[in-house]
Amino acid sequence: MELPDDHRALYQAFLDQGLTTWLAKLPEQLARGLDRQRHGDLPAWEKAVAKLPALPAERHVQLDSDTLTVELALSDSQQRQCFNLLRKLAPWRKGPFQLGGIHIDTEWRSDWKWQRVAPHLAPLRYRKVLDVGGGSGYHAWRMTGTGAAFVLVIDPSPRFYWQFQAVRHFVGDADGGRTQFLPVGIEDVPENLGFFDTVFSMGVLYHRPSPLEHLQQLKAALAPGGELVLETLVVEGDR
């Protein structure tokens, strides 16, 4: 059976990174994460991304700007078509994006969070990065834009998966396939993987029923000497 383009790129990335143990789990994880029984709107999201028109090869992609921007020439009818299809994926939470002249004014200003976090990071250039609960992938694209060698977003939401694939349609191969998305949670990462140079968990910890278990799972994904970037709400007081 021929793989969809998005799956083929993910498989190739895992092969290139030597993640062979995890690679064997991908068919089951993708099937479960994108099971149409999980969400009634999932087929509509998949269809919306599939209907995005073919785009011109010539484009200017800015992955390391506050608004992730893809500049390319679209006719008025193409722009209207893209606007209507991208709207079917709403709500868009993490962003903002500017795709072919279409501004996606997301619910959250994720660029503000990135501005707060970025000065404290070890340089991401050439590093392998895991973004846990990465939503639509806005921060992952920013990580790639700073020179990361490989960035994997994991988030169990199928809506976010298809939002990421919509952005991928505009970005094309400008990132060299270094940015990938797998619709799973941290509990689906193989135990004691010890692979990623940097692991991000931003806005996730306070959602977890067992915060300590989450920290242990994050640590197990890190390579020796790696860096954990943990961003979470803080409630003052002893409790």
For every residue of 188-237, which 3-state class applies, written as one string?
HCCCCCCCEEEEEEECCHHHCCCHHHHHHHHHHHEEEEEEEEEECCCCCC
Residue 206's pLDDT is 73
Residue 239's pLDDT is 63
Please give the mean pLDDT across all residues of the chain. Answer: 94
Question: How confident is the model over 101-138, as pLDDT tens digits?
Answer: 999 989 999 999 999 999 999 999 999 999 999 999 99
Asked if pLDDT for residue 87 goes beyond 50, the answer is yes
Cis peptide bond N-terminal to 156, omega within 30: no
Mean pLDDT of 33-43: 90
Winning range, highest mean pLDDT, from 4-8, 94-98, 201-205, 228-232:
94-98
Q: Could you give phi then psi for residue 57, rounded to 5 degrees?
A: -65, -35
Q: Please give the model's pTM, rounded to 2 decimal places.
A: 0.94
Residue 204's pLDDT is 80
Say if CB 166 and CB 45 are below 8 A apart.
no
pLDDT band at 37 (very low <50, low <70, confident <90, very high): confident
pLDDT band at 61 (very low <50, low <70, confident <90, very high): very high
84 class by beta-carbon count within 10 Å (0-12 exposed, 13-18 middle, 19+ buried): exposed
Q: At 199, list the tokens.
A: 């692991």
Q: Give the rounded distance of the alpha carbon of 172 from its chain centre.
A: 15
Could you give the domains of the chain? 5-223 (3.40.50.150)
Distance CA 193, CA 196 (A): 8
Q: What percent of the chain clears pLDDT 90, i.e. is strictly above it? A: 86
Give, as one character, the DSSP assignment of residue 3.
Answer: P
Question: How confident is the model over 181-231, as pLDDT tens digits?
Answer: 999 999 999 999 999 999 999 988 777 777 889 899 999 999 999 999 998
pLDDT band at 3 (very low <50, low <70, confident <90, very high): low
Residue 203's pLDDT is 83
Number of neighbouring beta carbons within 10 Å of residue 184: 18
Give residue for tokens 């099937």: 31
Question: How confident is the model over 167-179, as pLDDT tens digits?
Answer: 999 999 999 999 9
Number of neighbouring beta carbons within 10 Å of residue 131: 28
Residue 1's pLDDT is 47
Distance CA 163, CA 105 (A): 14
Range scoring the smallest mean pLDDT among 42-51, 84-93, 143-152, 230-239: 230-239
